[in-house]
Structure 1
């Protein structure tokens, strides 16, 4: 034991150190010795096994087993272009990032963290399985019923909304490749058009040009914002909060989903199917 023997508490005796200062049950060194022996497997018959520990061990053994095989999925989209060269470039960019271990663009340490709090969730009716439907300013038109779709590889503007913006069909650029839906159904876009889009509210907002595929088919939505634009905005989505957040020059911007509009869109789609 450390310290002056004359100043130790004589009322306490440690059977491990065989000296006075602290009690045996308070002895830190003894506890460390016991833990070391347990790790070495020398005190197995003295240590009680908890049921949870057994379950955890079983899960660890299951996770260590090799997989039965590998299932891949192919996502088709129009972002890669049609030429063989553009497809090779599309793959090579990601391969370069994997080899170097870093992206060409690195996050600034000064950027604030984007957080979603429970306080905001209280404004939403729970439980829910609603999509995120927001309002955007597209080509200076306040456009409601815009679906935020992380699963879409394209930004889509439906033809009725395109007509309400008073654009002519001659302003569309032709497009060859079709859109392929969940069930393999193909839809041929009318064309493409690039329009300015504003997300957020002043001053926390982003204004960017978005290349929309204009589609002439029935939908309760006016537009769909997919991964190309969500990634360019560096958007973080929370389906639980029905909200999207993003960084701007003046802080964190937000576009809150409209839960009532979501359910109206759902009912309208059901009516179209009927």
Structure 2
């Protein structure tokens, strides 16, 4: 169900807080797009970041189910409401230790075969879905970002129902990493860990021996535009200011498009294109923390 239709159903609910007018010069905004939530032009209602945040908060508080429950025609949507109304088990904020890993001989051979296939055919074996919406970035996506900057994209993900902050989006990483202190805060048993012996080699050339691997459910996005997938993390022990690193394996499976300028990631969902804004303050804090760690070595 589009966000605009949901808004029409709950517009008289006292829990809904209507926003102030959109800041900035109205003449510089797109007049072909109108937001019923802000009651102003500049972006569509279904793209409204503030409305998505409010919807998510209302769902977690259990205040939105009664409105959406009136639509008995969409049982699948009702199921998503029930699932999304589950509050996180907790919140992982800061860690002071870290991560790393590698690939087996078999996986390297499989990867080489794929590379050779692409080189010979000139195209990927998978065909493009022409029904997917195009993912684009505009100046509006950069309005919440302080420029100029060279910050990394640091986001929050729901990992095994824990809101896990300080997750680095790293296009340069060939693996997904979970630092061991973060794994401990997820309150999972060590029996879930599978031992591995492959080292991870970073940009500095230093090898870090991984502890193990673990497969965990991860949710990215906000209701209704969410993607849930099981991610195979490499669990490592080393100093880091991040809780986890999401690398190319998961970014590609989510079909994520990143923009470091906008500090934003966008990806397709069943209900349209979703975007997750990076936390610029958290990115700066992580960078300073890593500098402090380097000085201590």
Query: Do these two structures clear the TM 0.5 threshold for a shared fold by scoring above it?
Result: yes
Contact between 2:178 and 2:233, CA under 8 Å: does it hold in 1?
A: yes
Counterpart Cα distance in 1 of 2:207 and 2:240: 15
Counterpart Cα distance in 2 of 1:141 and 1:224: 16
RMSD of equivalent CA atoms: 1.5
Counterpart Cα distance in 2 of 1:173 and 1:253: 33
Aligned equivalent of 2:218, options 193, 197, 204 = 197
Aligned equivalent of 2:105, options 67, 82, 86 = 82
Q: How many residues align?
A: 195
Post-superposition CA distance 1:23-55 (Å, at most 9, x none): xxxxxxxxxxxxxxxxxxxxxxxxxxxxxxxxx
TM-score (norm: length of structure 1)? 0.68
Q: Which has the larger radius of gyration?
A: 1
User: Equivalent residue for 1:30?
Assistant: none
1:196-215 to 2 correspondences below 5 Å:
196-215=217-236
User: Equivalent residue for 1:121?
Assistant: 142
TM-score (norm: length of structure 2)? 0.63
Give 5+ residue unaligned stretches, structure 2.
1-100
Counterpart Cα distance in 1 of 2:126 and 2:111: 17
Counterpart Cα distance in 2 of 1:89 and 1:215: 24
Counterpart Cα distance in 2 of 1:216 and 1:123: 34
1:115-264 to 2 correspondences below 5 Å:
115-264=136-285
Give 5+ residue unaligned stretches, structure 1.
1-76
User: Equivalent residue for 2:114?
Assistant: 93
The one of the two structures with greater contact order (alpha-carbon pairs below 8 A, sep at least 6) is: 2
Shift of 1:88: 3.4
Shift of 1:197: 0.4
Contact between 2:102 and 2:201, CA under 8 Å: does it hold in 1?
A: no
Counterpart Cα distance in 2 of 1:94 and 1:270: 37
Structure 1 runs of 4+ aligned residues shifted over 4 Å read: none
Counterpart Cα distance in 2 of 1:267 and 1:179: 23
Aligned equivalent of 2:128, options 98, 107, 118 = 107
Counterpart Cα distance in 1 of 2:117 and 2:285: 45
Shift of 1:91: 1.8
